[in-house]
Amino acid sequence: MAAKTRSRAKTSRGAEPVPPPPLSDADLAVARPKPALKALADRLPLWRRPGYLVRRLHQIHYALFFEECTAFGITPVQYGLLTILSTNPDADQVTLANALGIDRTNVADVLRRLEQGGLVRRRKSADDRRMVLARLTAAGEDMVEKMHPYMVKAQERLLATLSAEERDAFIATLMRLLEANNRYGRAPLRAIRIETM
């Protein structure tokens, strides 16, 4: 009976957690960073690494986008694809992949989801039956229009701390970095300056 009670106490969700034992001097010595590693981190700290900062800013952008656009149930990538189709009807998957900078498999998946939502219609090309063309439905066109001000608000919130001149410089710098490093991307953009972007 005592064994059963002890077993129940261990698995009980309401039980107080047992605090860990205090660290000994030996443990504290081990926990201190090695001087060589600290020197490396000091030379280029995390908050001075462009890749880290870009990734963090991307995470923040996603959070702001979902705050502003959550009612629509559309992701930033899906909205990007809808935006491209809004000015490029009957675009094929390769063109869409090149414009979005994602691979064709991902484009096919995004198109499938948008088609299931009634926002996109796909059809085989009359010229090349292997090619699938996509265009917005009337509901897709409405979605682009209705979401646009909310998407814009997310972009504005992201850049709110910058002046107009700083925003222009920031975008110009991002474009310069993208163009200079585009070939290293998993799915390089091939139409980086198309009007819809």
4-8, 125-129, 131-135, range with the lowest pLDDT: 4-8
Predicted pLDDT of residue 2: 47
Question: Is residue 77 within 8 Å of 110, Cβ to Cβ?
Answer: yes
| Predicted confidence (pLDDT) at residue 171 exceeds the cutoff of 70 | yes
Nearest Cα to 80, choosing from 101, 94, 51, 60?
A: 101
Residue 113: per-residue pLDDT: 96
Cα dist. 113→43, 67, 74 in Å?
Answer: 46, 21, 10
Rounded to an integer, the average pLDDT of 116-131 is 89
How many Å apart are CA 101 and CA 191, to the nearest integer? 9
Q: What confidence score (pLDDT) does residue 38 get? A: 85
Domains of the chain (ranges; CATH) run: 74-184 (1.10.10.10)
> Please, which pLDDT band fits residue 20 given cuts at 50, 70 and 90?
confident
Contact predicate 91/134, CB 8 Å = yes
What would the mean pLDDT of 41-47 be, rounded to a whole number?
86
Cβ atoms of 40 and 63 within 8 Å: the answer is no
Q: What is the pTM of this model?
A: 0.74
